[in-house]
Amino acid sequence: MAGDVQSHLGRIYRANGQTSPFEGLAYNAIGWIVAGVDFLFLLATTAAGFVLYEEFSFNLDADPFRYIGIGLVMAMGFVLAMHGAQGYRPEAILSQRRQIRLICVFIPAALGFLLTVIFFLKLGASLSRGSIIVSTALWIIGLISLRSFWRWFLPVAVSHGTFGRRRLLLICSEDFAVWKFQDQAIRTGTTVAEVLRIRDDGSIGEDQLTRVATKPQPHLDEIVILWRDAEIGVLDAHLRLLQRSTLPVSIAFEAIIGAVVSHPKHKIGGLSCFQTQRPPFTTYESIVKRLFDIAFSVIALISLAPLITLVALAVKLDSPGPVFFRQVRKGYGGRPFQIVKFRSMSVQENGVEVRQARRGDPRVTRVGSFIRSTSIDELPQFWNVLKGEMSVVGPRPHAVAHDDFFDDQIGPYIFRRHVKPGLTGWAQVNNCRGETPNLQKMEERVALDLWYINNWSMMLDLKIVCRTVFQLHDYRAAY
């Protein structure tokens, strides 16, 4: 198997005009290069910011060398802080969101340190607040632009052999798709140089594993074990054997163990625990989410008032019956409330049996078909949000009859009521909108709802709102 892997990789590299996957700079050199560019960039922009401000504001012929010392302090503070936060690891550099967060934290921190030094050295008289503001803007905008460049450039450079790849020995199950993993790993500077397979009982060819553990492996940089659900004691034996090797060893878990260790880790009484189910929102989180709901719903109701009026008139003229449809739903903690929607059907089911709308459903009116497909029928629910019965973002509430049924069929279903139901949700923007014709479809929706609850943040809510707006044109799932 190892020979097959290396032979196949060799064909890939030759096809790309490369003679070896290990040519070029070491992969870890990426961090040093990015750090060096940051240092030089901050040094140059510090001088440029101060000089530009003095020339344009006061028409002075400023000397950039006067500000080299300030640039050195700023650059050193930022680069050391990024290094301490492991922000220069190749994988971290490709995570643009994390990089932007680090920049927005460490630039003000480094600036604060710089101003403290200036204050104690009594150099403040020679600096203006305007020049500091200009320089700070250049630092933040420039560093974020550089991160966009690195995110584009580094995968291209790695794929062309500019940087050597980290070479793995992958120990995995017989049916694991190595080539699928290889396609993803190669984009981040990692290549599978050798593969050992794990049998169903967890054993590995001991002679092969002993060879790796006891003999030098110059063609390898790291060992990665992908463990499924075999006996943990067997894994412990393999790890003890691999302790004789000088290579770093990493373990990734599949199945239930993999799901558990993917959750946030924290300490309880000295024990390392993985929180598979988060507690209810803290007081601070509840206040932040509620303030967002109030502000968003007020703005929506005011700005959409003309549209709401026109739809109400169309519903009234299209078919006999009330403009609004009210139905009991279960909210936070299972407390019932009446959800408000524009009436889109000729019936108003609100009992022990409620049929979901299907494609071509004769109960749907002409106006109802349009407002359901575009989600306009949901607009009155902003009133539920304003009253505090719902949230802008959260798991979508279902009819009580459906809730009672799925409570018995899907174990974690009830956990959806740990938060307020929402106008839109993580499930809805991930293709789980509309009818749930079978139990599997509902299980997919529940899994996405639970992921949202366990990973909630205000940024996630804003992301879901933005994705909802851009997906309103997709009429295929709602009818």
pLDDT tens digits for range 17-71: 343 443 456 667 888 999 999 999 998 888 777 777 666 665 555 555 666 777 8
| pLDDT score for 355 | 62
In a 10 Å sphere around its CB, with 0-12 CB exposed, 13-18 middle and 19+ buried, how is residue 197 labelled? middle
Cβ atoms of 68 and 43 within 8 Å: the answer is yes
| pLDDT score for 114 | 75
| pLDDT score for 20 | 40
Largest CA distance in the chain: 84
Q: Are strands 422-424 and 391-393 parallel, antiparallel or unpaired?
A: parallel
Closest-CA residue to 357 (of 433, 424, 413, 430): 433
Model pLDDT for residues 318-327, shown as the tens digit of each residue: 888 889 988 8
d(CA 443, CA 412): 9
19 three-state secondary structure: coil
Q: Where are the alpha helices (DSSP H) in 16-95?
A: 29-58, 68-84, 90-93
Spatial CB neighbours of 105, under 8 Å, sequence gap ≥ 6 = none
Percent of the chain residues past pLDDT 90, beyond the cut: 22
Cβ atoms of 139 and 6 within 8 Å: the answer is no
Closest-CA residue to 156 (of 120, 124, 186): 186
| 169's tokens | 């020995």
d(CA 449, CA 428): 9
| pLDDT score for 11 | 43
d(CA 271, CA 457): 26
| pLDDT score for 394 | 94
Spatial CB neighbours of 404, under 8 Å, sequence gap ≥ 6 = none
| 385's tokens | 């949000």
- Tokens 């009026």 locate to 309
| pLDDT score for 294 | 95
The dihedral built from the CA positions of residue 82, 85, 87 and 89, taken in this order, carries a sign that is positive
| pLDDT score for 262 | 78
Model pLDDT for residues 132-175, shown as the tens digit of each residue: 787 888 889 999 999 999 988 887 887 776 777 788 999 988 88
| pLDDT score for 383 | 94
471 three-state secondary structure: helix
87 three-state secondary structure: coil
d(CA 48, CA 64): 7
Segments in the chain below pLDDT 50: 1-23, 475
Cβ atoms of 473 and 443 within 8 Å: the answer is no
d(CA 9, CA 21): 8
Cβ atoms of 210 and 243 within 8 Å: the answer is no
d(CA 131, CA 137): 10
Cβ atoms of 421 and 378 within 8 Å: the answer is no
Domain ranges of the chain: 29-159, 165-274, 283-471
Secondary structure E strands in 271-351: 271-274, 324-330, 336-342
Spatial CB neighbours of 27, under 8 Å, sequence gap ≥ 6 = 90, 158, 163, 164, 165, 166, 189
Please state which CATH class domain 165-274 belongs to.
Answer: alpha beta
Dihedral pair phi/psi, residue 128, rounded to 5° = -110, 155
Spatial CB neighbours of 253, under 8 Å, sequence gap ≥ 6 = 226, 227, 228, 260, 261
Rg (CA), the chain: 29
